[in-house]
Amino acid sequence: MSIKIYLPFNYYYLKKPTNLYGQVQINEDNVVAYYVLEASVLEFRDKAIDHASSDMRFLGSILNVDFNADQIQYLKFNMRLCFTYNSSQANITLVYTGITPEYLKHIKLILYEKPMLRNLFVGGESVNNRPIEHNDNDSSDCDFLELSRLTQPTEEALRNPKNSTKNSVLYMLTLIADFPITVFKYVVENVFVNSIMVHTSIYKHFKEWQTTCDGRSRPANIALDRILGMILMLILFSLATQPGDFLIQISHYVIDELYSLLKVLEGSPIGLKLNIHLNNFFLDCFKYHIELWSTFLDFIEPLVRQVFLAIGVFGCLGLTFQIALLVDLISIIGLHSHCFYIYTKVLYNVERKGLSVLWQVVRGNRYNILKGRTESHNYMNRQLYLATIFFSAILFLFPTTLVYYIVFAALKALTFATLSMFEFFRRKLLNLPIEGCVKRLLKGCNDIDCLQIKDVLPHETDFLMHKHQKIDVTVYKITAL
């Protein structure tokens, strides 16, 4: 068994009678950890002292060396720790611990600074928002995490009358900020609307955003998200005179580019000799599809012109909601190119499978389903004749289908890459350790990996007398790299 005493750095040089309050924990490896958190003016009573508040326990005191208390007096005042000071020594000295086993040879007195521990982060995440995982951390890290949690401001301090006005203003601002998301949540959870939006990017983002918001692990990200959304909303409403026209121009630009692409495929792209009849069939089908889509866009043009108004209004919810809505709009604009990819993919797979099967027939083989292997088979002449004809026809048509499949697969990959970039930025905006970075810049926040323990050399070697035995007391200090 060993003893660790975590003491605020300024208390180590305190020279006045003081009561100490905090917590005591006994870890699984039989390490007794005393966490000294607060201090108050010494008030001895005839009976034992229980606690200073509902959150902390009375641990002991800092007394003048002339106190000369014995074991009975320490027990009388329910002390677990006792330090003494004198005029000739700069620091206090440990003279009593409530748990002192016979085989104890060493005590660690670890000094810390509250601002450093309060702003402790683990992997860019605040300690308050992260549960302790004893299996993933060593004992010292667990002590630091627990100490950081214990040094956080209590609810009583947060309910201080001095902060009541500030808390009231923040509460009103929070209600105003949460009103748009409350309305959106009510609309989305409607049965009819939910059945339509369940597969959209904005609905999926709403679920992710709600999980992040309910977990209260990224308040700075949520605040930044809303601020950026409001800024973009003001830009759209003030600087852009007709933002809806921009979306119409993009839609027609995509249509014109598809026409240009089909015009290139109409001849001999990069010197390839395509099948004339199949190529003309593809061109007629795809051009008709584009004309149909162009007519549909002209029909819904008044509605499309108001889409940017919706993007601007969604700024009240946050920039990530605007990005999610933009992803859905890009998917709608590129719907016809996605259809072309599906058509060519199906035809490509059919021809590839047909060539694979007919090649086995031409070679005089077949696949035995029962035995799971390819074996020889005697086909009739008419079967070989038909197989050869179909194989030759598909073989000469396959290059044309392959060219169209590659072109529209590349177009699909480009669209997917664009949407993935927006999705990546949207998710990163909610998961970046913004709070940790801000606190590092403003309050000197420290990551747990940057903490180290250094020796503090006192003027004289400290030790604790217990039953005429000397127990060494080594003093350390938690510092940051």
Q: Which is more confidently placed, 132 or 11?
A: 11
| Tally of CB atoms within 10 A around 244 | 18
pTM of the model: 0.60
pLDDT of residue 440 exceeding 90, the answer is no
**Rg of the chain on CA atoms, in Å:** 37
The model's pLDDT over 109-130, given as tens digits with 9 standing for 90+, comes to 888 888 777 777 665 566 655 5
Task: Give me the phi and psi of 43, to 5 degrees please.
Answer: -140, 95
pLDDT of residue 46: 45
Burial label for 466, CB within 10 Å (0-12, 13-18, 19+), is middle
DSSP character string of 381-415: HHHHHHHHHHHHHHHHHHHHHHHHHHHHHHHHHHH
Q: Rounded to whole angstroms, how far apart are CA atoms 437 and 304?
A: 40
Tell me the CA distances in angstroms from 75 to 82, 99, 339, one per residue in order. 11, 12, 83
pLDDT of residue 52 exceeding 50, the answer is no
Give me 335's structure tokens: 């719907």
pLDDT of residue 352: 92
CB of 463 closer than 8 Å to CB of 472: yes
Q: Rounded to whole angstroms, how far apart are CA atoms 124 and 391?
A: 61
Phi-psi region of 333 (alpha: psi -120 to 50; beta: other; left: phi over 0): alpha
Length of the chain: 481
239 falls in which pLDDT band (50, 70, 90)?
A: low
**Mean pLDDT score, 246-275:** 80
Tell me the CA distances in angstroms from 337 to 54, 94, 248, 414, one per residue in order. 66, 78, 17, 11
pLDDT of residue 452 exceeding 90, the answer is no
pLDDT of residue 48 exceeding 50, the answer is no
pLDDT, mean over the chain: 77
Percent helix, percent strand, percent coil in the chain, to nearest 5: 60, 20, 25
The model's pLDDT over 379-426, given as tens digits with 9 standing for 90+, comes to 888 888 888 899 899 899 998 899 999 988 998 999 899 899 998 888
- Sorted by sequence, the CB contacts under 8 Å of residue 401 that are 6+ apart come out as 278, 344, 347, 348, 351
| Helical ranges in 189-306 per DSSP H | 191-197, 201-215, 219-238, 243-266, 276-299, 301-304
Give me 44's structure tokens: 């001895």
Percent of the chain with pLDDT over 70: 74
Q: Rounded to whole angstroms, how far apart are CA atoms 293 and 57?
A: 73
38 falls in which pLDDT band (50, 70, 90)?
A: confident
The model's pLDDT over 86-112, given as tens digits with 9 standing for 90+, comes to 887 888 888 878 776 666 667 888 888
CB of 151 closer than 8 Å to CB of 117: yes
**Of all helices (H) and strands (E), which one includes residue 441?**
helix 434-442
The model's pLDDT over 144-156, given as tens digits with 9 standing for 90+, comes to 777 788 877 665 5
Question: What are the E-state strand segments in 16-89?
Answer: 18-26, 31-41, 57-64, 81-85
Q: Rounded to whole angstroms, how far apart are CA atoms 268 and 43?
A: 98
